[in-house]
Amino acid sequence: MNTTHSYNDRQLLALAVVIFLSPSLRLFPSTSARLAGRAVWLSALAAAPVLLLYILFLCRFMGCRREGEGLPELFLRALGEKAGRALLFAVPVWLLLYAGFVLRSGADRLITTIYPLSPPAFFTLIMGILCLIAALGSLRSILRVAKLCLPLVCAILLLILGFALFGIDKTNLLPVTGRDAVPVLLGALPVINVLSVAVYLPCFAAGPAPKGDHFRSYAAWLLAVCVLLTLLCASVVGSFGPELTARLTRPFFSLVRNLVFFNSLERVEALVVTLWIFPDFLLVSLLLFAAQFCLRLALGEKPSYRADRRLDMSGRRWLIWFCAAAAVACGLLIAPEPEGMALWSEKIIPALNMCFAFLVLPAVWVTGKLRKVF
């Protein structure tokens, strides 16, 4: 990968913040509330040490890059030509499956909150087309969109949290004792799962430059995100209680639906839910970009992060179209019946993600170290 960076850590962190919002409100805090009960609001903070270690590992891993290399190139170098190529063919399968799931999940969010009678295929298809257009362009455009979206999404999120925190009932959050430690750690698993995606996916976007200490900036990012998740969880669980939060599919949007601003403005959930299209768009675009990059690299091409002409098919760029089609197909095939979403959302996708983040990536690093190529 050409790493003549025209983007920096800040842009990558902005991308990481925006893309983590997409899966975070799907799993958190309802799944965590089921596991941690009243002390669920501490789950995000409990997840921080594990995620800090993971960021430290990724910084070490990405520090092994040479000039012009990215995570896919590291796979090739660490595992050798054959095994590396095999992994580069396998990784896009996961990335495209995940992209399809995000498309389906985004459609499900719109259906359950705003358009109850609409078919998911419509939303999946439209978002797939939009993400294809983004993936056909340069990576820098995706990062710029993230930078533009970040203040808007964060401002809305903080405004909602500001209003919601006034309505919390302390008996929904307290007391917390030593006995809650194990449930809190269990409740931290969905947080680790969600944030690990936001940590490793930007590494496909060439990641930080090989030189320099990036751990501090990433650690600061992580702590800020954990505090944000803690506030979010406290506002939701403080309003509904852990029992009801665990039963609700999307408790955050239920909270937004309840909010009345200054006794005059209400029912703004449609606007807020629509805003969550940006995280979905950026996440799927990034997944498509990473998937096509891995595939083209595995087929012996030298893909570039730079902008090519969108309709240029040279260098096997038709794979971008193929990836988008595969992601949309996954989106259409995943959970055609709404009942299946819970299985995908709470079991299949988290399990695959944890395998990739905490087994595949460390295994590649260890292999590279053993082969003394790092």
Residues that bind other proteins (CB under 8 A): 112-116, 118, 122, 170-172, 174-177, 179, 239-241, 243-244, 247-248, 254, 257-258, 267
Minimum Å distance from CB 174 to other proteins? 6
Give the ranges where 334-360 is alpha helix by DSSP (H).
341-343, 349-355
Minimum Å distance from CB 4 to other proteins? 25
What angle is formed at CA 102 by the lines to CA 333 and CA 153, rounded to 5 degrees?
Answer: 155
Q: Provide the token pair at 11.
A: 């842009």
Residue (242 or 279) nearer to other proteins, CB = 242
Residue (243 or 312) nearer to other proteins, CB = 243
Minimum Å distance from CB 178 to other proteins? 8
Phi, psi of 311 (to 5 degrees): -95, 10
Phi, psi of 209 (to 5 degrees): -60, 150
What angle is formed at CA 105 by the lines to CA 165 and CA 195, rounded to 5 degrees?
Answer: 60
Residue (217 or 239) nearer to other proteins, CB = 239
Residue (82 or 170) nearer to other proteins, CB = 170
Q: Which amino acid is at 236?
A: V
For residues 300-325, one letter each, b for 16 or more C-beta atoms within 10 angstroms of the residue's C-beta and e for the rest, the string is: ebebebeebeeeeeeeebebbbbbbe
Minimum Å distance from CB 313 to other proteins? 17
Residue (31 or 239) nearer to other proteins, CB = 239
Minimum Å distance from CB 255 to other proteins? 8
Residue (179 or 211) nearer to other proteins, CB = 179
Residue (33 or 48) nearer to other proteins, CB = 33
Residue (36 or 298) nearer to other proteins, CB = 36
Minimum Å distance from CB 238 to other proteins? 11
Angstrom CA distances, 52 to 15, 124, 211, 342, stand at 18, 34, 20, 29
Q: Which amino acid is at 82?
A: K
Q: Which of 131, 182, 177 has the alpha carbon at shortest distance from 320?
A: 131
Angstrom CA distances, 111 to 256, 279, 281, stand at 16, 17, 17
Residue (176 or 185) nearer to other proteins, CB = 176
Minimum Å distance from CB 44 to other proteins? 22
Q: Tell me how far apart the terminal alpha carbons of the chain are, to the nearest angstrom.
A: 17
Distance CA 144, CA 284 (A): 15
Minimum Å distance from CB 35 to other proteins? 16
Minimum Å distance from CB 240 to other proteins? 6
Query: Is 272:25 a contact under the CB 8 Å cutoff?
Result: no
Residue (151 or 340) nearer to other proteins, CB = 340
Cβ neighbours of residue 206 under 8 Å, at least 6 residues apart?
A: 1, 3, 5, 70, 139, 305
Q: Which of 165, 225, 234, 157 has the alpha carbon at shortest distance from 192?
A: 225
Distance CA 310, CA 308 (A): 6
Minimum Å distance from CB 249 to other proteins? 8
